[in-house]
Amino acid sequence: MEKQVILKTSHISKYFYEPVKFKALDEVSFEVFDSEFITLIGKSGSGKSTLLYILSTMDTDYEGELFIGNEKITGQKPNYLAAIRNKNIGFVFQFHYLLPEFSCLKNVMIPALKLGKYSHQEIEEQAYQKLELLGIRDQALKPASKLSGGQQQRVAIARALINQPKIIMCDEPTGNLDSKNTGIVLETFQQLSSEFGQTIIAVTHDNDFAKASNRIIEMADGKIIHNL
pLDDT digit string, tens, across residues 160-216: 999 989 999 999 998 888 888 888 889 999 999 999 999 999 999 999 999 999 999
Phi and psi for 167 in degrees, rounded to 5?
A: -135, 140
- Alpha-carbon dihedral sign for residues 115, 118, 119, 122: negative
Is residue 165 within 8 A of residue 7, CB to CB? The reply is no
The domain made up of 36-50+83-227 has a fold known as Rossmann fold (3.40.50)
- The residue-averaged pLDDT of 76-96 equals 89
> How confident is the prediction for the chain on average, in pLDDT?
91
Strands 167-171 and 89-92: parallel
- Alpha-carbon dihedral sign for residues 40, 45, 51, 52: positive
| Cis-peptide, bond into residue 165, ω within 30° of zero | no
Rg (CA), the chain: 17
- The residue-averaged pLDDT of 98-106 equals 93
- The residue-averaged pLDDT of 68-80 equals 93
Residue 160: is it exposed, middle or buried by C-beta count within 10 angstroms (0-12/13-18/19+)?
A: buried
Q: Provide the residue count of the chain.
A: 228
pLDDT at site 224: 95
Is residue 43 within 8 A of residue 221, CB to CB? The reply is no
User: Is the pLDDT at 2 greater than 90, yes or no?
Assistant: no
pLDDT at site 1: 64
Is residue 170 within 8 A of residue 94, CB to CB? The reply is no
96 vs 53, residue with greater confidence: 53
CA distance 112 to 124: 9
User: Is the pLDDT at 102 greater than 90, yes or no?
Assistant: yes
- The residue-averaged pLDDT of 23-46 equals 94
Least-confidence region, from 11-15, 21-25, 65-69, 174-178? 174-178
